[in-house]
């Protein structure tokens, strides 16, 4: 049953030898690394992987942004609420423009 699924999931290439980390190992230690809590050796391995692997690189980038946002205590408002505000403004303008009972 599962064999066809396994074929869909690409295996990580290990061309650089045993020392190269795979995505799972990086994911486990990524937060430590970004917090500066990983050892120098681990940090070097993770850095090498992040340059190689787009997915883990993006994840690291996202985590860095979250950390930066938390550090500055400024979280950008979701675009959704901005749209709702604009709709609310349009609704107000419309209700003020029309005069009920005139005719």
Nearer to Zn ion, 5 or 54 (CB): 54
Binding to Zn ion (CB under 5 A): which residues in 6-65?
23, 53, 56
Cβ 41 to Zn ion shortest distance, Å? 18
Taking the CA atoms of residue 88, residue 89, residue 91 and residue 93 in that order, the dihedral angle to the nearest 10 degrees is 160
Environment class of residue 77 by beta-carbon count within 10 Å: exposed (0-12), middle (13-18) or buried (19+)? exposed
Whose CB is nearest to Zn ion?
A: 53
Nearer to Zn ion, 51 or 87 (CB): 51
């Amino acid at each position: 049953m599962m064999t066809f699924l396994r074929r869909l999931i690409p295996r990580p290439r290990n061309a650089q030898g045993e020392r190269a980390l795979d995505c799972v190992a990086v994911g486990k230690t990524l937060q430590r690394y970004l917090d500066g809590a990983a050892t120098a050796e681990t940090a070097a391995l993770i850095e090498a992987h992040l340059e190689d692997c787009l997915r883990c690189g993006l994840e690291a980038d996202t985590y860095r942004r979250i950390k930066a946002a938390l550090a500055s205590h400024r979280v950008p408002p979701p675009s959704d609420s901005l749209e709702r505000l604009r709709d609310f403004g349009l609704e107000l303008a419309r209700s003020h423009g029309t005069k009920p009972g005139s005719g």
